[in-house]
Amino acid sequence: NAGVTQTPKFQVLKTGQSMTLQCAQDMNHEYMSWYRQDPGMGLRLIHYSVGAGITDQGEVPNGYNVSRSTTEDFPLRLLSAAPSQTSVYFCASTGGNSPLHFGNGTRLTVT
């Protein structure tokens, strides 16, 4: 099993550009989520989904969009990148009583 796969690993954007961070899982988990990790802070929830076609906002959703058209995929879109969105982004999934399974992150720099 590949688990949770995130692409790209690194990305540099200019202010105002848009992009999509990809996340795919092969464990048939119904729950998927996006977090950002900043130095000295715990991971913060951006958006989450409890199943295909269902998404909801987390703690820090502004500037980000998500969609869940399939169980496997949960892309995160940055609409107009800002320097404050410089961070490491993690996608995670879980199902049943399993722990959160994380991808290896996307390191995003916005200049």
Partner 1 sequence: KNQVEQSPQSLIILEGKNCTLQCNYTVSPFSNLRWYKQDTGRGPVSLTIMTFSENTKSNGRYTATLDADTKQSSLHITASQLSDSASYICVVSEGRPNFVFGPGTRLSVLP
Footprint of partner 1 (CB under 8 A): 4, 31, 33, 35, 40-45, 48, 50, 56, 58, 90, 92, 94, 99-100, 102-105
Closest approach of Cβ 86 to partner 1, in Å? 17
Could you tell me if 66 and 45 are in contact, meaning their C-beta atoms sit under 8 angstroms apart? no
Closest approach of Cβ 7 to partner 1, in Å? 13
Q: How far is CA 46 from CA 35, 60, 102, in A?
A: 5, 5, 14
Closest approach of Cβ 38 to partner 1, in Å? 10
Could you tell me if 103 and 6 are in contact, meaning their C-beta atoms sit under 8 angstroms apart? yes
Closer to partner 1 at the Cβ: 82 or 88? 88
Closest approach of Cβ 44 to partner 1, in Å? 8
How far apart are alpha carbons 13 and 99 in whole angstroms? Answer: 32
Tokens of 8: 């790209």
Closer to partner 1 at the Cβ: 15 or 62? 62
